Amino acid sequence: MKRFVGQGVAIPVDSLIKPNGGGSWSIKEKLLLGLTPEQYMKTLVRNPFNWLLAAIYVVGVPVVVLRFVKGLGYVTHASYDYPWGLFLAWGLFTMVPLSASGFMMGTTVELFGRKDFKPIERLGLLNGLLGYFFAVMFLQVDLGQPWRLIYPMFVSLGPAAVLFLVAWHVATYLSVQVAELVPAASEWLGMKQPKKVIKSVSLGLTIAGIILSTLHQGALGALFTYAPGKVHPLWYSPEFQWIHFLTSAVFGGLCMLIVVSTLAKWFMRWRMDDTFKNSLDPLTLGLAKGASLAMFTYLIIKILAVAHGNKWGYLFTGWGEYYLFELTVGVVVPLILFTSAIRNQRPGLARVAAFMGVFGIALNRINTALIAFNWKLYKEVPAWREVLIVLTVYATYIVVYRAILARLPILYTWKGQAGKYPG
């Protein structure tokens, strides 16, 4: 892509009308980013990352198909003791907190009126939408009978269950997030009406997003309160589990947003406009500030839970060491790095911290769901086919993410409303 930009081809598409007065872009031209099909194929083939994705698909897609043909037993260890494996530990419990950026950015910009975060708001919303969407995809791979996904909504209701709340809220929140991204899509498609409608209800959408996020992020944690004897006491707390999951989702979402914007800065710079490029560093520090506050809060509540349950003794066991490792690498070190980055105005350092924060979330969720789960029993190591399916679904997430970033006005402002960030 860089090469074509250098050659002065009229790309990338960033408005409805061709730059040299050649009429308006057709949908096909917009999909191909303004390149000819041959040029577009060339960009695809030249990117080594696409070869990696292709390799994952060649081995992964048949296994995904076989999961539905032969059943879950073919791809997992079919464990009765570990009913939840990597599909949920990674796909649901990790993806959802990393997608909290949607409601965080909505709250910051729409609710608290911090218009300075506007340039990165849409990236936050998109990160949220895709994360949730693919969490549902992971769930569909994991459910025994995925075609019954709507049963808790319409067929047989169990409203007293925590998972009922998760199901309803994730479903509702997905539609909220789709609505929040309608403006970006309608600009790209050249339609005015949808954007206007959404704009008029944006505060309502944002508040709905906060309520739904508070509850389902917390509910994911509360799911583990059904298994008090199974989750190791250090990762378990009936009083604080949902608060732990909620507060860690706050910095999880912000860290993920920094990570994604960093990846975009490295690999999709051609797609960013000057507003985004210039505001990225200060905004990274702004996000870092939010993330570090959440991390600090989380750390306090984590310690509080240990004190409240009088679990100090466990800290001096092997499990305790592992628990402290998780907190140190995933929270304390990134917190220190964030603080230093903010004080010394070093966005690069904040990016390192954000990568660690994302790792910390993944570690915590996988620990709670898999490693510290059944701590009195044996350890479950996911089957290779299970790992492969996770890789394949995640690769699809990356492909879709990249495709949308390349097209919709997320990293750049759609021209047509001169110089103003639409929304």
Partner 1 sequence: MNKLNRRKFLKGGLLGGAAALTMSRKAAASESFEGYPDSMGVLVDLTRCIGCRTCEAACNHEQNLPAPDKPFNDYSVFDERGPEGQKRRTTEKAYTVVNRYDTEKGPVFRKFQCNHCQEPTCLTACFVNAYTKTPEGAVIYNPKVCVGCRTCMVACPFYVPAYSYSSATNPVVKKCIMCYDTRLKFGRPPACVEACPQEVMTFGKRKDLIKLGHERIRNNPGKYIDHLYGETEVGGTSWMYLSGVDFNQVGFDTTLGNQPILANVKEFLAMVPMVLTIWPALFTGFHLLATRKEAAKEEQNKNEKGVKP
Among positions 12-71, residues that touch partner 1 (CB under 8 A) are: 68-71
Task: Count Cβ atoms below 10 Å from residue 270 Cβ, excluding itself.
Answer: 17
- Of 217 and 396, CB closest to partner 1: 217
297 binds partner 1 (CB under 8 A): no
160 binds partner 1 (CB under 8 A): yes
72 binds partner 1 (CB under 8 A): yes
Residue 76 CB, nearest distance to partner 1 (Å)? 7
* Closest to 386 in 3D by CA, of 50, 149, 98, 82: 82
313 binds partner 1 (CB under 8 A): no
310 binds partner 1 (CB under 8 A): no
* Single residue of 56, 149, 329, 387 touching partner 1 by CB under 8 A: 149
* Closest to 172 in 3D by CA, of 211, 203, 141, 121: 211
* Contact of 108 with 206, CB cutoff 8 Å: no
321 binds partner 1 (CB under 8 A): no
Residue 302 CB, nearest distance to partner 1 (Å)? 17
* Contact of 246 with 323, CB cutoff 8 Å: no
* Single residue of 162, 179, 256, 295 touching partner 1 by CB under 8 A: 162
Burial of residue 252 (number of CB atoms within 10 Å: 0-12, 13-18, 19+): buried
- Of 110 and 326, CB closest to partner 1: 110
* Single residue of 164, 296, 322, 421 touching partner 1 by CB under 8 A: 164
132 binds partner 1 (CB under 8 A): no
Residue 379 CB, nearest distance to partner 1 (Å)? 8
Pull the structure tokens for residue 154: 């319409």
Per CB under 8 A, which region of 157-165, 272-280, 338-346, 355-363 contacts partner 1?
A: 157-165
* Single residue of 120, 141, 165, 249 touching partner 1 by CB under 8 A: 165
* Single residue of 37, 113, 318, 419 touching partner 1 by CB under 8 A: 113
- Of 76 and 262, CB closest to partner 1: 76
- Of 158 and 348, CB closest to partner 1: 158
211 binds partner 1 (CB under 8 A): yes
Residue 236 CB, nearest distance to partner 1 (Å)? 9
201 binds partner 1 (CB under 8 A): yes
* Single residue of 20, 156, 193, 310 touching partner 1 by CB under 8 A: 156
Amino acid letter, 236: Y
140 binds partner 1 (CB under 8 A): no
145 binds partner 1 (CB under 8 A): yes
* Single residue of 112, 312, 325, 384 touching partner 1 by CB under 8 A: 112
Q: How far is CA 250 from CA 112, 217, 247, 292, in A?
A: 16, 9, 5, 10
Among positions 83-102, residues that touch partner 1 (CB under 8 A) are: 83-84
Among positions 222-241, residues that touch partner 1 (CB under 8 A) are: 222-223, 225-230, 238-239, 241
Among positions 334-393, residues that touch partner 1 (CB under 8 A) are: 377-379
* Single residue of 204, 315, 325, 348 touching partner 1 by CB under 8 A: 204
How many residues line the site for partner 1 (CB under 8 A)? 72
Residue 410 CB, nearest distance to partner 1 (Å)? 24
Residue 194 CB, nearest distance to partner 1 (Å)? 17
Give the separation between CA 48 and CA 34, rounded to whole angstroms.
22
Residue 234 CB, nearest distance to partner 1 (Å)? 16
Question: Who contacts 33 (Cβ-Cβ below 8 Å, separation ≥6)?
Answer: 1, 11, 12, 13, 40, 406, 407
- Of 15 and 297, CB closest to partner 1: 297
